[in-house]
A and B are shown apart, each in its own frame.
Chain A
């Protein structure tokens, strides 16, 4: 199942490699070709070799070999021109173009609901994330078939245009993977415990407010460093939440746990380490400023952080 998904993803990588090669950018062709091989055959290779390839990919990303920086608008014939500035009355487009795109969320929705209905008694131990991802993958494939039929397009050409899009996104597409790996290395080196011990130094532990603020700040900071609230939660809850808030001040662990995790999510809105949420869309939307998405959502994250601290003070100690 996951092997099939990896091969399908590898096909789009091959299309991106082809797009790079046709554009005369050999570096991009090698970059995407190597990724395609790692996705399709990764399970057969020794992990150390894959690790060496990851280092190689990172080195290539830092050289001009890829041809263009991610985030700069792709000036490329194969990529359709960006939306014209004026409302496009003169370029109406094919009305059927909307349908396959809308079909992706609708089909995903249908698949998830059908599997959940069939599996109501829980016969299959299905993780919701696995189910959602599989449904999205299946929906994408069916939507592609539908789009190719209804728009009378060449399927190879469709995959090629997907590759062109990926090539325009560039190395930013791989960043989420590298960050997940970094998170596991941080965990192995107990970076979280160190940050928690730094934060707990010098807070007046008899003050309830000081402890809640320290807990909320540590969640925010750790999540921003790791790019992921899941990695921050056990460290901060174990280092500050349980001993100080629950143990010393008698807080409700359910309230502190749930709102604490969401306080970490405020940090996710602020950090380039959460690349798939904050940097990949910059490339996808061809924005000029690498920090544009973080800038747009940061005020929401900071205001919500204050709201979360207030909620923990109001609801956590009943």
Chain B
């Protein structure tokens, strides 16, 4: 077996490591892989074009941007932050644990499109989390980390919720693949075996969020002590 096609993978790894432009790196790796696999240039371009046409739905989030832009022009982020300021006991970790629970349980019943980075994280979750972090005395770097954690929490909730949903593509893919290899199973059986991981994902991520909250509180009360002690 020839291992030359792995050069395309190598190009991607090197490109991301050296921080070349990711879009150019990815397209170049595609062309390189196609050339090594023995396609001619026109065939590669056709593959690129057909792939592009088939995947256009990936950019559907773009349709939410006019609403987000309109609302932000009318002070949405400030509203979201002001709302959190009135909620006693709203720490960034608690906000994200609540969001994780909602996101994951919605995905479990197949409602994957009701939230996402464009429609909920940027306009609502990130500003709320950032405001709560600012109130707890987080510095600029810590607020950046909480914003990134808002996006990460959305991913964890989506990934480890949707696999429990029966009609989700992953369950059907597993079922179809096993059936063609002679193991005929009900989709329900496969979806149920996704539950232990779903529970573990919630437990692990919620525990991390709780610890981040605690560490942040410890850090800010220490610095408050220092100030009070006049060090």
Contact = CB atoms under 8 A, between A and B. Distances in A.
Contacts of B29: 182
Interface stretch (A20-28, A169-177, A202-210): A169-177
Contact of A101 (B8, B76, B131, B169): B76
Interface in B165-180: 165, 167-171, 173-174, 177-178
Main DSSP-derived SS at the A contact region: helix
A87 B62 contact: no
Given A97-B76, A280-B117, 8 more contacts: A5-B60, A80-B75, A144-B67, A182-B29, A258-B197, A285-B126, A300-B152, A315-B196
B193 A259 contact: yes
A57 B163 CA distance: 34
A158 B70 contact: yes
A24 to B, nearest CB: 21
B82 to A, nearest CB: 6
Interface residues of B, number: 131
A88 interface: yes
B85 to A, nearest CB: 5
What 9 pairs across the A-B complex have the smallest Cβ distances? A93-B75, A161-B69, A51-B45, A162-B66, A297-B152, A50-B49, A181-B51, A47-B49, A51-B48
B9 A191 contact: yes
Contact of B8 (A129, A185, A254): A185
| Count class of interface residues, chain A | 35 or more
Interface of B: 1, 3, 5-6, 8-9, 12-13, 16, 19-24, 26-31, 33-34, 36-37, 39, 42, 44-83, 85, 110-115, 117-124, 126-127, 130-131, 134-135, 140, 143-145, 147-156, 159-160, 163, 165, 167-171, 173-174, 177-178, 181, 183, 185, 189-194, 196-197, 200-201, 204-205, 208
A296 B74 contact: no
Contacts of A59: 24
Nearest to B79: A93
A132 B114 CA distance: 8
A151 interface: yes
25 contacts: A9-B59, A51-B48, A51-B52, A58-B27, A84-B78, A88-B82, A91-B75, A97-B75, A97-B76, A100-B70, A108-B113, A140-B66, A158-B69, A161-B69, A178-B23, A178-B30, A181-B48, A184-B51, A188-B37, A191-B9, A279-B22, A281-B121, A290-B19, A297-B152, A315-B196
Contacts of B42: 48
Contacts of B121: 281, 284-285
Contacts of A289: 144, 148
A189 B20 CA distance: 24
Which of B29, B74, B134, B149 has the largest count of A CB atoms less than 10 A from its CB? B74
B68 A47 contact: no
Interface string A31-49: 0000000110011011111
